Structure 1
Amino acid sequence: MTKVLVATEKPFAKAAVDGIRKIVEEAGFELALLEKYTDHNDLIKAVADVDALIVRSDKVTKEVVDAAKNLKIVVRAGAGYDNLDLAACSAKGVVAMNTPGQNSNAVAELAIGMMIYMARNQFQPVSGTEIAGKKIGIHAYGNVGKLVAKYGKGFGMEVFAFDPFVDKAVIENDGVKPVGSIEELYSTCDYVSLHIPANEKTKKSIGYDLLSKMPQGATLVNTARKEVIDEDGLKKVLEERPDFKYATDIMADCHAELVEKFQGRVFATPKKMGAQTKEANVNAGLAAARQIVAYIKNGDTTFQVNK
């Protein structure tokens, strides 16, 4: 019998687990759970006899892949998949997938919420500003970026976007203004919402040169990955510009220093919170289960990320 393991250091909601179980068992598969584990070795041991694996932010390392002798597919329940060792998966013939779009609304709402939070000085009893009438830049116009643009328009913001992989006509059809370069996006917009992945080209790509170009009173909101930020460059901008603010869903390595030096202008959630809604939790888990069933039964590789 095909065995599916849900391995989540930070567990899914009960409704998600119940839904995953229903999908898996109706397909004639067996479901196993590994929740709230504290040692990576527990995951390595648990995958020994599984055919499929569902994870959240759990790290599927080479050691995990090598230990899973029967593994055919691993699905990261969420959009980002930098916690999966794609090279190790490919070497073993394991299909790796993500579940794009399932967490998008949750992340987009958080991005807008952090903009308002920073505009109102973290809800301290002092005069703040409004986001209506301000210019917002969407850096990467994917599932989340499109929703941030939609919500920004709803708040009366003027929306710009940069994404070299998306046709300008698609952006324009959404009532958003495409720009020709990253530099133009940052120099134009009062707020920039960051949605790029972390890879060799993007790591530390957001630093002093870009951030220093932003208008007075600007705010950078990062719900992507901390690795894309050049923290030294960020600190330099914060030091030089008392008007600049930074809000992030991924705590910087130097977060304690930033808060101490730039109190009231830097905010980070205690843990990555973008997908932490009941709805996103359930949606991503169910999508992962359905994708596993579709692959095992029909060979469907629609969301494969290690082609």
Structure 2
Amino acid sequence: MKVLIATEKPFAKVAVDGIRKEIEAAGYELVLLEKYTEKAQLLDAVKDVNAIIIRSDIVDKEVLDAAKELKIVVRAGAGYDNVDLAEATAHGVCVMNTPGQNSNAVAELAFGMMIMAVRNFYNGKAGTELMGKKLGIHAYGNVGRNVARIAKGIGMDIYAYDAFCPKEAIKADGVTPVDSADELYKNCDVVSLHIPATPETRKSINYDLVNLMPKNGLLVNTARKEVIDEEGLLKLMEERQDLKYVTDIMPEKNEEFAAKCAGRYFSTPKKMGAQTAEANINAGIAAAKQIVAYFKDGCEKFRVNKK
């Protein structure tokens, strides 16, 4: 078996070493394509490989057409909207992600951004504290659970909404489940987004929903850019000078947000949720282990596309 690591933004060396150890211990060959600058390089590299590990790299019909021997693609991370799932299924290719490996890194970033925002972005003026505030977790998956864990230590009052997570599971963590997104936003001082980008969630965080938030509300987005209705949120923040928005996914309208919402808005230059040494290593090695388990035992536990 031949396994390709195709990463425009490479893994750390220690992560690559860990991946290599897993792959070669199984008797497979590992090849690298790092820091590539043209899609043609990727198309050439996939021609004879059986498995691919990617990060934010695009795997579309063209890539799948070129990869005649490909059986599995693993996205090292939770999100997988950079892979065309329907085309992968049509090509008989299994697609997996590595849920949970980046979760703590994303949760810690969310709190770093929360603290920065309530302290007025460290501009020297008096801010507020998170202790005692109501935190709303929108989607209670791996990241949401880590956010709840950290929030308990800070002393926040924690609520969560997840249409697909049983209320009993949320309650078991000492978190209060609510019945709708409207209820979550209406009652929480801070809302942390952890929803995936799907046809149902795209632009679902809109004017009407965020407008339900109490005075001095803070919205934190470490999920996906596509879930935000940027025009609606920008209009609302112009109207409501009390609201703040922080994100690690730079909006299309970043310059407008920065100009019109000065002192109440912040975006990192690039997606940073999983940008820690630990998450980088964990996700890469998990991807390698999943590939080995797939070929050795037929394990498809983390499959995200249809057969």
TM over 0.5, shorter chain: yes
Give the whole-Å Cα distance in 2 for the aligned partners of 1:202 and 1:271: 22
Give the whole-Å Cα distance in 2 for the aligned partners of 1:207 and 1:95: 34
Q: How does 1:101-180 map to 2 (within 5 A)?
A: 101-180=100-179
Q: CA deviation at 1:72?
A: 0.3
CA-to-aligned-CA distance 1:76-101 (integer Å, 9 cap, x gap) = 00000000110111001000000000
Q: CA deviation at 1:36?
A: 0.7
In structure 1, runs of 5+ residues without a counterpart are none
Give the whole-Å Cα distance in 2 for the aligned partners of 1:173 and 1:3: 44
Q: CA deviation at 1:178?
A: 0.5
Aligned to 2:184: 185
Q: CA deviation at 1:260?
A: 1.1
CA-to-aligned-CA distance 1:7-38 (integer Å, 9 cap, x gap) = 00110011000000011111111100000111
RMSD: 0.6
In structure 2, runs of 5+ residues without a counterpart are none
Point out 4+ residue stretches in structure 1 off by more than 2 angstroms. none
Q: How does 1:123-272 map to 2 (within 5 A)?
A: 123-272=122-271
1:63 aligns with 2:62: yes
Aligned to 1:49: 48
DSSP-derived class of the 2:6 partner: strand
1:21 aligns with 2:20: yes
Q: CA deviation at 1:298?
A: 1.2
Q: CA deviation at 1:261?
A: 1.2
Q: How does 1:6-17 map to 2 (within 5 A)?
A: 6-17=5-16
Q: How does 1:289-300 map to 2 (within 5 A)?
A: 289-300=288-299
Q: CA deviation at 1:257?
A: 1.0
Q: CA deviation at 1:177?
A: 0.5
Give the whole-Å Cα distance in 2 for the aligned partners of 1:236 and 1:150: 33
DSSP-derived class of the 1:246 partner: strand
1:282 aligns with 2:281: yes
Give the whole-Å Cα distance in 2 for the aligned partners of 1:254 and 1:284: 31
Give the whole-Å Cα distance in 2 for the aligned partners of 1:208 and 1:156: 29
Give the whole-Å Cα distance in 2 for the aligned partners of 1:134 and 1:42: 50
DSSP-derived class of the 1:93 partner: coil
Identity of paired residues, percent? 65
2:184 maps to a residue whose letter is: L
Give the whole-Å Cα distance in 1 for the aligned partners of 2:225 and 2:75: 19
2:299 maps to a residue whose letter is: D
Q: CA deviation at 1:164?
A: 1.4
Aligned to 1:76: 75
Give the whole-Å Cα distance in 1 for the aligned partners of 2:145 and 2:242: 28
CA-to-aligned-CA distance 1:187-207 (integer Å, 9 cap, x gap) = 000000000000100000000
